[in-house]
Every structure is written in structure tokens, then in C-alpha cells.
């Protein structure tokens, strides 16, 4: 079957790395994610990744607890750096070349984000991991995924969650909730669907960059998406 999406931006939440643990990174969950990435990498798909830090710190939560919001967000960016290092190491351990770049200047840990370098790495077949969000407080890693996806010319942003798409209501609370097979950006924004923030939706809409929301814990889901099969929820113009 031919590949539908040659270059993708995969958005992983930090919480997805937790598995069933209370915090941090679950080794088995990380290895399963790496196996999914390895599967599409072997098909020749160019993969870039933006990963959140919510399994370690949440800037907004820290702000709500009385800490300055900008300070909390910078702490969250450092959490994404830790997750990016873990993912880069796990990919290299299975023989997949990976490069992590940081929006914050921490050269002793990660090289800085430089767009031409990132594009060259992708063309060379390396998985590129974008750490530290946009490098600015008040912007989520969802927005970073939309921004980096547009910058590298990704064909689609794949938002990996623990739920297999966007629902009319929280399926854990409402048994009658139904899943959208597709939804427009305008409808997703007007309905205030919380699966991604409105800034990310608006940026992808303006750049005509579709988003597909899917379950990272569903076996084979990532591969089915890049092959063009129906999976999760497509957010489109």
C-alpha cells in the first residue's frame, strides 16, 4: 500500500509517556511508542516529534498554585527537554538515528533549533525531536507542534492521545458520547474542544495543515494513518 503522508509532525503528550504510573516515564510505554515510530520510519516516512512535559511539570497548574505563570511555563519547557532526551536515547537504542533540538539555548544538553538543520536531518532519514516548545511562555506544546509542523512543511500533524479521536463529550463520563470521524477547524474552535488549544487549531487552519487526533495506545494506529486508512478524527479546513 502506498504511503499517504511522507513527512509528519507527531505530537506526543508527556502524560502519554506515563503509562499507568503516577508520574515520570514508563519504560514499557516509551518502548511501545518507539516501536510505532520505528514501524513508519522503516517505510521511509520522515518523522518529526514535539513532546509535552506534563508528566513532570505543568506550567499552568503551577501558575494556579500561586507561582508566576511564566516561571511555571519555563519549568514545563525544561520538562519537555528531559522527555526529548529520553525519546532520543530510546530511538538510538533500537538503531534509529535521532536528533533533538531545543528552542531554549542549552547547548551542553541539546543543539539549538535551526530550521535548515532540522530539514536536512529529516531528508537524511533522522527522526527530529523539537524540545522546549516554542521557547516562549504562554504557548503550549500543541502550538509548538503546529508551528514546527508548518516550518518543516509537514503534510499533517498527528496528535497522539490516550483516546481514539475527538468526541462530542468526555467518553469516560458520558457513555453516549460519539466520535467525530472528521470536523472542521472552525467547528472545533467554536465548540471549544479541549483536545488541542485554540491557538494551535487556528495556526493549522491558517496554514491549511490538517490535524489527525488518534490513540497512541492503539496497536498499529500510527502506521494505518500514514498509509491513509481511517483512524481517529481528522480536523481540516
Q: Which residues are annotated as part of the binding site for ATP?
A: 11-14, 54, 58, 161, 167, 170
**CA distance linking residue 170 with residue 178, whole number of Å:** 9
Q: Which residues are annotated as part of the binding site for UMP?
A: 53, 73, 134-141
Cβ atoms 88, 129 nearer than 8 A: yes
Q: Which helix (H) or strand (E) holds 189?
A: helix 185-190
Three cell numbers, residue 34: 518507539
Cα 236 versus chain centre, distance: 17
Match 466520535 to its residue by C-alpha cell. 179
Q: Which residues are annotated as part of the binding site?
A: 11-14, 53-54, 58, 73, 134-141, 161, 167, 170
Q: Which helix (H) or strand (E) holds 35?
A: helix 27-41
- From 90, 76, 118, 83, select the one nearest 33 (Cα to Cα): 90
Amino acid at each position: 500500500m502506498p504511503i499517504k503522508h511522507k513527512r509528519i509532525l507527531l505530537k506526543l503528550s508527556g502524560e502519554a509517556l506515563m503509562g499507568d504510573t503516577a508520574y515520570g516515564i514508563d519504560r514499557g510505554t516509551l518502548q511501545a511508542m518507539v516501536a510505532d515510530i520505528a514501524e513508519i520510519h522503516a517505510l521511509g516516512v520522515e518523522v518529526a516529534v514535539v513532546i509535552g512535559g506534563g508528566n513532570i511539570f505543568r506550567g499552568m497548574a503551577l501558575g494556579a498554585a500561586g507561582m508566576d505563570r511564566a516561571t511555571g511555563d519555563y519549568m514545563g519547557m525544561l520538562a519537555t527537554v528531559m522527555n526529548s532526551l529520553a525519546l532520543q536515547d530510546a530511538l538510538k537504542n533500537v538503531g534509529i538515528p535521532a536528533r533533538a533540538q531545543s528552542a531554549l539555548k542549552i547547548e551542553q544538553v541539546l543543539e539549538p533549533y535551526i530550521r535548515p538543520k532540522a530539514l536536512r536531518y529529516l531528508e537524511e532519514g533522522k527522526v527530529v525531536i523539537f524540545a522546549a516548545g516554542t521557547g516562549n511562555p504562554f504557548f503550549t506544546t500543541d502550538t509548538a507542534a503546529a508551528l514546527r509542523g508548518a516550518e518543516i512543511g509537514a503534510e499533517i500533524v498527528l496528535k497522539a492521545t490516550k483516546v481514539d479521536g475527538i468526541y462530542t463529550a468526555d467518553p469516560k463520563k458520558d457513555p453516549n458520547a460519539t466520535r467525530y470521524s472528521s470536523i472542521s477547524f472552525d467547528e472545533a474552535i467554536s465548540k471549544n474542544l479541549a483536545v488541542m488549544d485554540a491557538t494551535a487549531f487556528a495556526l493549522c487552519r491558517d496554514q491549511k495543515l490538517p490535524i489527525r487526533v488518534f490513540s497512541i495506545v492503539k496497536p498499529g494506529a500510527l502506521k494505518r494513518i500514514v498509509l491513509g486508512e481511517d483512524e481517529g478524527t481528522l480536523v481540516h479546513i
